Amino acid sequence: MTIKETQEKLRKREIAPEDVVSSFFSRIQERNKEINAFLSVFQDAADEIKKKDEKLPLYGAVFSVKDNILIKGERCTAGSKILEHYIAPFDATVIEKIRENGGVFIGKGNMDEFAMGSSTENSFFGPSRNPIDIKRVPGGSSGGCAAAVADGMCNAGIGSDTGGSVRQPAAFCGVVGFKPTYGAVSRHGVIGMASSFDQVGPFTSGVEDAEIVFNAISGKDSRDSVTTSIVRKKISRESIKVGVPEEYFVKGISNEVKEAVEKAVSDVEKAGVEVMKINLPHTEYALPAYEIIMASEVSANLARYDGMRYGLEFERPAAKTIHDAYINNRGEGFGKEAKRRIILGTYALSAGYYDAYYIKAQKIRSLIAKDFKEAFGKVDAILTPATPTLPFKIGEKIKDPLAMHLSDIFTVTANLAGLPAITLPCGEKENFPVGAQVLADRFNEDILFFAAKKFEKIWKH
């Protein structure tokens, strides 16, 4: 059930609050061993939900939480060996806000190590699996939460989106994934990956639920300096103009996805929505620019994990110097993908290469943001594919980092420009959902939800 449907049944006394949680516990017990969506489950959720006021906007909502978001007293691993036994000393702001608004938490979702990946295969605790076909990935890096919502283990999830880590797994699992405007939701208490991209967002089974969750978790937070109290721009009309960028239908997109999204665009047009072709000319440079900036910020953010101040301390072989200790701890504690990105980022920031890579990538980032600004002068929302392919098989791309990174080719642009974006199912191919992505201008979440709800209604028919 959606959050809205759950609330209605609870308020009509058709179900009891503890029944909501117990049904999810049963599903987790039945399926989690196979899917590996949850790394830990909170047994006190049934008691917590009984204490909530039914007038609160998230009353009856049961959440999974990506395991890079701190919940006081609970383990928070970020999917990494180096934080295997780390216990969170405080609640993240998003956790506080969900509790204040009536939501409860049922467990921590599996994820790619430090949110680095597009398949959840990089988790130290083993891969999560797509509930539609357990031989395939659920996407990443927030794959555990996406799989949990899709399989009925909870009715919402909270993830982090750095380059598509909420939207891409949502598309692969056939649910809704939403990334707010950069600065709209606090990241306080979220283990950082690439701080100029990271944003917290929900997984839900419908667009309306995503809007309900966003309204509860958004707002300024003095503990996160990028958050803002800017008033969201309200939609004041019944019609919208939608742009479809030609650059998103290029070589590399699978025929299945291309056909499904083109049909979805046609259905939107037939329903009376004004659709026009637009150009975002610097799109082809988005992924390489993102990869350079992201790896550079990863290199800086993960420097703190040395086994002394944070994380595990490995004593084999015995370290004779502090340099040896760092090598032992970081070498043992980080997985291959984390090491790869740390090395790439350190190289891009090094003397002699900083201007050639990092500065150039930041200039491209500005050009991409400018492209979007010009496009939103002509249209209210932009409609694109969410992913270039259907969900791929576990093991299919894990040894080819470039192919894996291409999974985020359509989602990284929103992070580069700091835009709100949402993915939702728009069709089906070979029994797998195909996701479409809707983007709007900064702090135009109301326009985004208006468009996405409209499209959702069209595509469901």
Residue by residue, DSSP assigns 228-248 as: --PPPPPP-SS--EEEEEGGG
Domain tally, the chain: 1
Catalytic residue among 141, 186, 218, 407: 141
* C-alpha separations of 159 from 68, 69, 357, 365 in Å: 8, 8, 29, 24
- 194, part of any domain: yes
Decide: helix, strand or coil at residue 455. helix
- 375, part of any domain: no
- 132, part of any domain: yes
pLDDT (0 to 100) of residue 315: 56
- Look up the domain containing 245 and give its range: 1-277+381-461
pLDDT (0 to 100) of residue 398: 93
Catalytic residue among 52, 66, 81, 108: 66
Catalytic (active site) residue 407: no
Report the distance separating Cα 250 and Cα 148, nearest Å: 32
> Burial letters for 412-451: b for 16+ Cβ neighbours within 10 Å, e otherwise?
bbbbbbbbbbbbbbbbeeeebbbbbbbbbbbbbbbbbbbb
Q: How do the pLDDT tens digits run along the chain, 461 residues long? A: 899 999 999 999 999 999 999 999 999 999 999 999 999 999 999 999 999 999 999 999 999 999 999 999 999 999 999 999 999 999 999 999 999 999 999 999 999 999 999 999 999 999 999 999 999 999 999 999 999 999 999 999 999 999 999 999 999 999 999 999 999 999 999 999 999 999 999 999 999 999 999 999 999 999 999 999 876 777 767 789 999 999 999 888 999 999 999 999 999 999 999 999 999 999 999 999 999 999 999 999 999 998 777 666 665 567 788 888 888 889 989 999 999 999 999 999 999 999 999 999 999 999 999 999 999 999 999 999 999 999 999 999 999 988 999 999 999 999 999 999 999 999 999 999 999 999 999 999 999 999 999 999 999 97
Kindly report the backbone phi and psi dihedral angles of residue 130, in degrees, each rounded to the nearest multiple of 5, phi listed first: -75, 125
Contact (Cβ atoms closer than 8 angstroms) between residue 242 and residue 380: yes
- 139, part of any domain: yes
- 385, part of any domain: yes
Token couple for 456: 């959702």
Catalytic (active site) residue 141: yes
- 347, part of any domain: no
The CA-based angle 41-47-50, given to 5 degrees, is 130
Q: Which amino acid is at 389?
A: T
Residues in Cβ contact with 226 at an 8 Å cutoff, skipping those fewer than 6 apart: 182, 183, 187
Contact (Cβ atoms closer than 8 angstroms) between residue 68 and residue 115: yes
- 359, part of any domain: no
Report the distance separating Cα 17 and Cα 52, nearest Å: 9
pLDDT (0 to 100) of residue 236: 66
CATH number, domain at 74?
3.90.1300.10
Catalytic (active site) residue 66: yes
Token couple for 326: 């760092």
Decide: helix, strand or coil at residue 310. coil
Report the distance separating Cα 414 and Cα 82, nearest Å: 30
For residue 110, the 8-state DSSP code is P
pLDDT (0 to 100) of residue 235: 72
Report the distance separating Cα 175 and Cα 189, nearest Å: 25
* C-alpha separations of 171 from 85, 130, 385 in Å: 32, 11, 10
Is beta strand 104-109 parallel, antiparallel or unpaired with respect to 62-66? parallel
- 458, part of any domain: yes
Catalytic residue among 64, 160, 165, 407: 165
Give burial (CB, 10 Å; 0-12/13-18/19+) of 313. middle
